[in-house]
Structure 1
Amino acid sequence: MKFKITKDKIATIFFIAIIVGFATANARLGIKEENTIAERMSGQIFLNSLAILAGSLLISVLNLRVMDSIHEILEKLRRLETLAEKGTNHSSKDSP
């Protein structure tokens, strides 16, 4: 089984890395004791919003990939339908 590197896989890995990076930065921000509670909270809210944004972009990329797959399947079904119609037209012309 071959593993193909596509744009979708690269984007998925990239967004997962971003989300993990934000989670790590968020955890480090909460650990630092020199920051006040307000600084920690505002930083955590900012990092959480960025992680949510990266997650929604990841979902968008995956959704586009699914939509492309569905479009390809529909195209193949249309081709099969036209081939089936051509086959029935030829067989009806052959019969007396």
Structure 2
Amino acid sequence: MKSLIAFVIEQKILLAILGIGVASLSFQMWKYQDEQYQKLLANQKVLCEKSLKDADDLIFKSPALYSAFNSGNARYAVPKDKIQQPGYLL
């Protein structure tokens, strides 16, 4: 009877150790994926800012685009700070 109780206790201890190992591994995987996602977001932000700067440069270097940008009814004009915000809905 003592050997059966010792076997059950030993199995529970091994199961607890396995649970701790799985939890630790899953946390490390989550942490790695979160780091990769943050890197992706930072890269996308840099690319977006570069695209906005390039578009701004093109508008101000082209006389036709610049006049189209500045002409029009003032009521429909979008402030420059709003143009530079991705996702801004008119």
TM-score strictly above 0.5: yes
Q: Tell me by how many angstroms 1:46 deviates.
A: 1.1
The answer to whether residue 22 in structure 2 is matched with residue 49 in structure 1 is: no
Count of aligned pairs between the two proteins: 63
Cα distance between partner residues in 2 of 1:65 and 1:95: 45
Any unmatched runs of 5+ in structure 2? 64-90
Q: Pick from 48, 68, 80 the counterpart of residue 81 of structure 1.
A: 48
Alignment correspondent of 1:59: 26
Return the index of the structure with the highest Cα Rg: 2
Aligned partner (choices 20, 28, 38) of residue 71 of structure 1: 38
TM-score by length of 2: 0.65
> How far off its partner does 1:94 sit?
1.2
Higher RCO structure (Cα 8 Å, ≥6 apart) = 1
Structure 1 regions of 5+ residues with no counterpart? 1-34
Give TM-score, length-normalised by structure 1. 0.62
Q: What amino acid is the match of 1:37?
A: L
4+ runs of 1 displaced by more than 4 Å?
A: none
Return the offset for 1:91: 0.4
**How much has 1:36 moved relative to structure 2?**
1.1
Query: Over aligned residue pairs, what C-alpha RMSD do you find?
Result: 1.5
